[in-house]
Amino acid sequence: MSVPDVKIFPHATGEAAKTVEKHQDPQDLVFYSGWFCPYVQRTWVALEERGIPYQYAEVNPYKKEKHFLEINPKGLVPAIEYKGQALYESLLLCEFLEDAYPNHKPNLLPADPVERTYARIWIDFITKNIVPNFMRLVQAQTADKQAAAREDFTKALRTYAEKVKGPYFLGEEFSLVDVAIAPWIVREWIIQENRGYDRAAVGEAWKTYADTVAQRDSIRRTESEKQHFTDIYGRYLRDEAQSEAAKAIREGRPIP
């Protein structure tokens, strides 16, 4: 595997740094994180939201260090080591936390099987429509490609927003659907500042929902300061990023 030389700011800042500070002690669960990563933020929010004890470990996934590849052979964050066993994939980790810590409230998946599957249907929609179109928009270099990606992204958000019961996706309870989309809500400023995207222009339902999710405590507690994202997102905005996800978007493949 080739290892690109990727400079990233080495640690969390702001509210996220305070959270990291509180999670240094050894625990059964080690959370391998990259402070900047939206997929990481999903699992991190689930841990925080449910008060699960964990030890935070910062990793630069671009370095593909041997120890980390033993934890996740894909070399991607987030990953978890639970009592010595390695697990990875952000949404699967969130589901693992539901299964392994059923008594840590609130549960993020509904108990009812129909509701549970309904939640997963919309999580799948986020994975297949919202996240890839966000990345396409960030990486698009010409005005035409940006307009097309902006249109597809906005359309996907409108489809999603129509189903929001409010204040959260499933209604009163914050759920894994909100967790799955939240990291891209708090990163909308990137396309707002660089790609002519406007949250309000998507529609009132989206704006109200996105504003509500962004205010959630667990989301705020896992957020680093905006200025430290500049290096990372600069590479995506110039379409120079060599991450597995960036390459997949460039080549029109699904994100790994």
Under rule CB under 6 A, how many of the chain's residues touch ligand GSH?
15
- Torsion over CA of 114, 118, 121 and 126, rounded to 10 degrees? -150
Vertex 68: Cα angle to 218 and 54 (nearest 5): 30
Residue 58 engages ligand GSH in binding (rule: CB under 6 A): no
Residue 35 engages ligand GSH in binding (rule: CB under 6 A): no
Of the listed 12, 20, 37, 109, which one is catalytic? Answer: 37
Residue 76 engages ligand GSH in binding (rule: CB under 6 A): yes
Residue 8 engages ligand GSH in binding (rule: CB under 6 A): no
Distance from C-alpha of 138 to C-alpha of 92, rounded to nearest angstrom = 26
**Which of 49, 81, 89, 188 touches ligand GSH by CB under 6 A?**
89
Residue 132 engages ligand GSH in binding (rule: CB under 6 A): no
How many helices (DSSP H) and strands (DSSP E) are in the chain?
A: 14, 4
CA-CA-CA-CA torsion sign (133, 232, 188, 222): positive
CA distances from 129 to 181, 192, 203, 254 (A): 11, 19, 18, 10
Catalytic residue status for 37: yes
Residue 34 engages ligand GSH in binding (rule: CB under 6 A): yes
Amino acid identity of 161? A
Decide: helix, strand or coil at residue 80.
Answer: strand
**Which of 31, 35, 39, 54 touches ligand GSH by CB under 6 A?**
39
CA distances from 105 to 81, 93, 124, 189, 196 (A): 22, 16, 24, 31, 40
Helix axes 143-162, 131-139, angle to 10 degrees: 160
CB of 160 to ligand GSH, least distance (A): 18
Residue 224 engages ligand GSH in binding (rule: CB under 6 A): no
CB of 112 to ligand GSH, least distance (A): 26
The region of 24-32, 70-78, 170-178, 189-197 touching ligand GSH under the rule CB under 6 A is 70-78
The nearer residue to ligand GSH, 110 or 183, going by C-beta atoms, is 183
Residue 78 engages ligand GSH in binding (rule: CB under 6 A): yes
CB of 144 to ligand GSH, least distance (A): 27
Interface contacts to ligand GSH, rule CB under 6 A: 34, 37, 39, 61-62, 75-78, 89-90, 243-245, 256
